[in-house]
Structure 1
Amino acid sequence: MARQQWSSRQTFIMAAIGSAVGLGNAWRFPGIAYQNGGGAFLIPYFVALLTAGIPLLALELSIGKRFQSGAPGALAKLNKKFEWIGWWGVVTAFCICAYYSVVLAWVIDYVGLSFRSPWMEKAAADVFTGDVLQVSSGMFDLGGFSPIVVIALVIGWFCMWYCIRHGVTSVGKIVKYTVILPVILLGILIVRAVTLPGSWEGLSYYLTPDWSKLLDVNVWAAAYGQIFFSLSILFSIMIAYGSYLSKDAEVTKDAMIIGFADAAISFLSGFAAFGTLGYLAQISGVAISDMSHTGIMLAFVTYPEALGQMPGGSLGVILFSLVFFLMLFTLAIDSAFSIMEAIITAVVDKFGWNKEKTTLWLCVIGCLASLIFATRAGLYWLDIVDHFVNDFNLIAIGFVECLALGWMFGAKKLRGYLNENTDFKYGVWWDIAIKYICPVIFLFISITYLITNLQTPYSGYPLSHLVAGGWGVVVLTIVVGVVMSFIPGKEDSYSNQHVHNEASNLVESE
């Protein structure tokens, strides 16, 4: 059967932007920018985008396109010894999708709650941890399920399956709406936020540069880390999406479009967040510095608190609550189904199974795996697994991927794939980014992460919690990745020597 392809270049770009732009853009970027120099953070952020984000994004798109295969298959065709790296990314993606789908379920619950907006009369924290999550006393006190979370979780997985049930054909139809709609909704929220009393105080808090931060190496590490987390690179998605491009497609220009679009939406989301927080600070008398205005708490506690006090009466509160959570839903669904598409692509390419049936069964398995995060202890599990699997694994995968591809295979050979069929060619600067800049940054962040987590237990959790939900899951992703690479598949007879010869010819012809 012929491999599916994107219906057009525009559809591919929108799908890739939809994957890259997710919940992290709405709540992670503004908080990190504030913590690391405000407006000054934009300098290291855009340096990181140009020296690491776009080069890695282009790399993954190009090898997916060149070999028409998901991450494990594409890496195996470069060198069979690289296949496990691809599976490490795929298993990591599965773990991320398992808990990300539960966050999607929370968003679905909040879309429903917006019609009565209980945060008008009740503390938003009580609504979130009490009414919705029904949080238990600790990680091992599962306490059964929160019914409304389980129901929303099933709805979320159904939506994900529906979006990808026919592969990129159905994805292409969905992203026409789910990429444009959140941008429109974000625009509405920005206009409302900047016209609220006290909004300029919040925006000043967000944007005022602290130039001294540019001398802090940790600020630069935070900028590179945000780029890696935000662009959907390093856990198989962009290789899978690239594999559905035609052989004559350009990726050099597309990588830059996707990268800058993701950065722009991240930056703009800060206006909505901090304009609203400035208003909340004014009416509550609580300084912005004393609010929990990053991560999950920004979306499900701090923001609803502000929405509950929105001018315009109950109708205004309901309207803007709906706008905000519908925006989060459209942001989340694109990212969620793109992760599943990467996993499905890898499995189908490896074993040659029917894609539609494989999609259904992997969605069922994913839904079952995510149930641990829908228990009353789910918030603890999600917090720990996300911290270790997302923060550590992606950086470690990036380091290994750059060593394998940039050094063992050769950045110059890879640049030959990248510069096919384009008049906008990347030069030696791309080789330097892949061989030197990215590995050094990855190594620095990894070492810093290890030292920090070994010296100070994350968020004060007991060691048993961190081993069960953190380091244990990290080790599991590596082990499963290695085991998957040894299981025979339909593509294992591919000649690596043919790939090397082809790459050499490309380089010589440049």
Structure 2
Amino acid sequence: MTEAHLTREARAQWSSEPAFVFSMAAAAVGLGNLWRFPYMVGENGGGAFILAYLLALVIVAMPVMMLEVAAGRLTQGSVVGTYRGITRLGTAYGWFVVVLTIVITSYYLVITGWTLGYAVDAFRMRVAEFDDFTAGYNSVWYFLAVTMLAALVLLKGVRAIETFSKVLMPMLALLIAGLVGVAMTTGGWGDAMAFMFTWDAAALANPGLWFFAFGQAFYTLAVGQGYLVTYGSYIPRKTNVPRATLIVAGAETTIALMAGFMIFPFVFTHGLDPGAGSELAFSTLPRVFEATTGGAWLAMAFFFMFFAAAFSSCLAGLKVIIAAFAEELSLSNARAVGATGVLMLCLGLPSALSFSPVQLTVAGMPFLDFMDQFGGTNVVIASAVIGAGLLCWVLPPSKVVYALGAKSGWWSWRIFIVGRSLPFAAVGFLIWQLLAG
């Protein structure tokens, strides 16, 4: 790949600020909110987790989100190039982020395969419960199909993602709102609201609750995973970063809560376990559609949109990897896409096999669940803390203010307070967790 080609790729831009907002929202809304948020709420006690999550989101995750977008805009390169331009340690951290994104995306593709399988079954008028769906090798076949489809889209570059996102987000929001309306008519609505919005104050003294809440807040906004830096590198010159990221964060939070409103009423109506884990949505929704008038049509619409949202998350993760491979290894876009596709096929297969007759497990849980607990929470938190510390302690404040594109310095002041204190707060939290344990 020639130097000129690399420069053109690095300077590619979203067509406008709204295009960035739609694309970034679609990237993170997918699985982080529709799949992961409800099951994390269910596993961590409901209302107490939601309160901790919202506090973590507003106080810490949103300023770090703005910081990462601004860093990407400032350097206009891959995540590796961005952090290398800031400090000598940045190259190692940049590749750490790429590896983390590789791990997360490998099992994201498997879950996206589930959504595609359910969409196909819905159009065939035979949506199965999750145990039946995974009794054979559906997880493997649909994982392979989604990986190849994603490679084809990414060969088209940034504008293909933009067009896809502009169509997806409004349709997804309308469909979820409609399903919430159906959920409000169920007998479990009151129990679901009590589960989501009441809590025992003593639960907030549990450091484990806060650990998972911060993990979900970072996960929801794609903090520490390279998405924000990579997508930020394509932002147009006149974009106001605080305004754009606030809109994205608001959309993320709204969709996450609506996903809870959509799923938990049916969980309680049908006497299901809210702590069912990663398959919560896939165990609940087939029963919902079966018991609902016109459920077959709702199933078609929902699972198609669920697939589209999940697929957008995969595209974002793959774009982080492809951009790093193309710029750091001097590969053409096509070769970077091909290399990334092969890597995903190899690394995603164990997660696919964990929900098949092979039932591959680690530490007593499916391999996919283990990867999500370890990579999706533990490592994401560590990555966010390290990244924020590097950016705020090394990058000159004046450059961040310039990259934010905002007239007010209030956000830059808050960003630097959060970013510089986060590593010390993390050490304090670990001490609290050790003492509480």
TM class by smaller structure: 0.7 to 0.9
Give secondary structure in 2 for the equivalent of 1:263: helix
| Structure 2 match to 1:186 | 176
Distance 1:445 1:325 in 2: 39
Distance 2:184 2:261 in 1: 7
Match 2:126 to one of 97, 100, 117? 117
* 1:6-44 per-position Cα deviation (integer Å, ceiling 9, x unaligned): 111111111100111122312332344456564455443
| Structure 2 match to 1:295 | 277
Relative to structure 1, the CA distance from residue 335 to residue 126 in structure 2 (aligned partners, 3 Å threshold; closer, same or farther) is closer
| Structure 1 match to 2:415 | 430
Aligned-pair distance for 1:197? 3.4
Task: Give yes or no for the alignment of 1:177 onto 2:164.
Answer: no
- Asked if the contact 1:27/1:296 (under 8 Å) is kept, the reply is yes
| Structure 2 match to 1:439 | 423
Letter in 2 for 1:117: R
Aligned-pair distance for 1:424? 6.6
Aligned-pair distance for 1:294? 4.6
| Structure 1 match to 2:21 | 13
| Structure 2 match to 1:311 | 292
Aligned-pair distance for 1:342? 0.7
Provide structure 2 residue ranges, at least 5 long, that are not aligned to the other structure: none
Match 2:80 to one of 69, 72, 76? 72
Give secondary structure in 2 for the equivalent of 1:296: coil
- Asked if the contact 1:344/1:358 (under 8 Å) is kept, the reply is yes
Mapping 1:130-279, distance limit 5 Å: 130=135, 134=136, 146=137, 148-279=138-269
Larger Rg: 1
Aligned-pair distance for 1:242? 0.6
Distance 1:404 1:93 in 2: 19
Distance 2:97 2:201 in 1: 36
Distance 2:270 2:254 in 1: 25
Aligned-pair distance for 1:231? 0.9
Aligned Cα root-mean-square deviation (Å): 2.8
- Asked if the contact 1:348/1:358 (under 8 Å) is kept, the reply is yes
Aligned-pair distance for 1:96? 1.3
Distance 2:377 2:45 in 1: 21
Match 2:385 to one of 399, 414, 429? 399
Relative to structure 1, the CA distance from residue 207 to residue 69 in structure 2 (aligned partners, 3 Å threshold; closer, same or farther) is same
| Structure 2 match to 1:48 | 56
Letter in 1 for 2:131: D
Aligned-pair distance for 1:90? 0.4
Aligned-pair distance for 1:427? 4.2
Distance 1:125 1:419 in 2: 45
Match 1:344 to one of 322, 325, 329? 322
Letter in 1 for 2:209: V
Relative to structure 1, the CA distance from residue 390 to residue 365 in structure 2 (aligned partners, 3 Å threshold; closer, same or farther) is same
Letter in 1 for 2:383: I
| Count of residues in Structure 1 that have an aligned counterpart in Structure 2 | 420
- Asked if the contact 1:70/1:239 (under 8 Å) is kept, the reply is yes
- Asked if the contact 1:165/1:360 (under 8 Å) is kept, the reply is no
Relative to structure 1, the CA distance from residue 221 to residue 362 in structure 2 (aligned partners, 3 Å threshold; closer, same or farther) is closer
Distance 2:48 2:139 in 1: 39
Relative to structure 1, the CA distance from residue 65 to residue 298 in structure 2 (aligned partners, 3 Å threshold; closer, same or farther) is same
The normalised TM-score by structure 2 is 0.87
The normalised TM-score by structure 1 is 0.75
